[in-house]
Amino acid sequence: MNWKFSTVVELLDRAREAGLSLPAYLLARESFYSGKGEDELRAELARRIRVTKTALDRGIREPQRSFSSMTDGGAAKLAHGEAWPVEDELFRRALAYSLSINEVNACGGKVIAFPTAGSCGVAPGLLWAYRDARDPSLGPDSPRFQDAFVVASAVGMLIALRATLAGSAGGCQAECGAAAAMAAAGLAFLLGEEPEGCFDAAALSLKNCLGLACDPVAGLVEVPCAKRNAFMAANALTAVCLRRAGISSVIPFDEVVGAMKAIGDAMPAAIRESAEGGLAATPTGMSFRAKIQ
């Protein structure tokens, strides 16, 4: 079996050559490299999916307040607030869940870096929102739900292989942007899209995060990171809505990743996680920095 790929085109070819679905191919590959059986890997996926759920519930139940005071129980407000302008259960849950997981992270709770800690709320938040709002038969132990996380991971792997997942190297497009693309692919999968459709949704989503600055206030994973997790869940949901309406990305996923790499390389260091530019350099940003140091 050939386990090497660096583009969607190659990845889908490998799966086809192997006569396996995309998630089955990726699990077989994981099994090859880790030496673990598929049952053991699925149990590990279920365990990690449960960690995302525990974080999600915690942030909504207990308002999360951070040491810096910049994180202040936003997810709990979002989940329980009465003034709510959009009549859609999926949308509201997606925002609240994604924010919740990232607030728990900001406050030192347990999460899964997916692909990083600063962007860990987006994909699990959106996938759990779909589960709770639309399909309660899904859960950590259902192979289809696990496969959605696998498809989302495939998007992250491809970005890691040809660009980067580090804000210090590629700005926030590499973290929350990647997470949005991953979330879009995962949700598209749950809605029955073929792998091509999942990567198309990922391309739509990622295109709309290109050039995003990583300018964390005081160098902490809070502002703008935590709320951006909610915004990116909305981005991913928009991408999936477009895809389901039959709208495709003019620029294919592999080329969007290439563009992301080129843009990341051209970004000044001040907006690549150095906490020296952008929001971090605003008067309010600087006052938070002075306060915590």
Partner 1 sequence: MSERTITLLDIFGPVMIGPSSSHTAGVARIAFMARKIFPYPLDRAKVSFHGSLAKTYKGHGSDKAAVAGLLGILPEDERLGYALELAEREGLSYEIVAVADGPERYHPNTAVIELWSGDKSIRIRGASIGGGEIRLQSVGGFEANLDGSLDAILVLHKDEIGVIAIVSHILAASRFNIASVASHRKDKGDEALLVVEVDGVVPSSIVAQIRDLPSVREVVYVPSIRA
Residues at the contact surface with partner 1, assessed by CB under 8 A: 3, 26-27, 29-30, 33-35, 41, 44-45, 47-48, 51, 67-68, 104-118, 120, 149-150, 152-154, 156-157, 160-161, 164-169, 218-222, 273-275, 292-293
H or E stretch including 9?
helix 8-18
Q: How far is the CB of 284 from partner 1 (least distance, A)?
A: 16
> CA 8, CA 10: separation in Å to the nearest integer?
5
Of residues 78 and 179, the one with the C-beta less far from partner 1:
179
Q: Which is nearer to partner 1, 130 or 149 (CB)?
A: 149
Phi, psi for 214 (deg, rounded to 5): -110, 100
CB of 168 to partner 1, least distance (A): 7
Terminal C-alpha separation, the chain: 53
Which of 92/101 has CB closer to partner 1?
101
For residues 103 and 226, the answer to whether their CB atoms sit within 8 Å is yes
The dihedral through the CA atoms of 208, 211, 217, 221 has a sign that is positive
Produce one character per residue of 54-80: b if its CB has 16 or more CB atoms within 10 Å, e if not: ebbebbbeebbebebebbebbbbebbe
| Identity of residue 37 | G
The nearest distance, CB 116 to partner 1, in angstroms, is: 5
Rounded CA gap, 196 and 278, in Å?
36
Give the DSSP letter of residue 279.
G
Nearer to partner 1, 238 or 274 (CB): 274
Q: How far is the CB of 85 from partner 1 (least distance, A)?
A: 30
Smallest gap from Cβ 86 to partner 1, in A, equals: 29
User: Is-contact 179 123, C-beta < 8 A?
Assistant: yes
Which residue number, 161 or 281, has a Cβ lying nearer to partner 1? 161
For 250, residues 6+ apart whose C-beta sits below 8 A from its C-beta are none
What's the closest the beta carbon of residue 251 comes to partner 1, in angstroms?
A: 23
Nearest distance in Å: CB 59, partner 1: 11
Nearest alpha-carbon partner for 235 in 154, 178, 167, 160: 178
**Residue 27 or 188: which CB sits closer to partner 1?**
27
Choose between 54 and 248: whose C-beta lies nearer to partner 1: 54
Q: What single letter denotes the amino acid at residue 261?
A: K
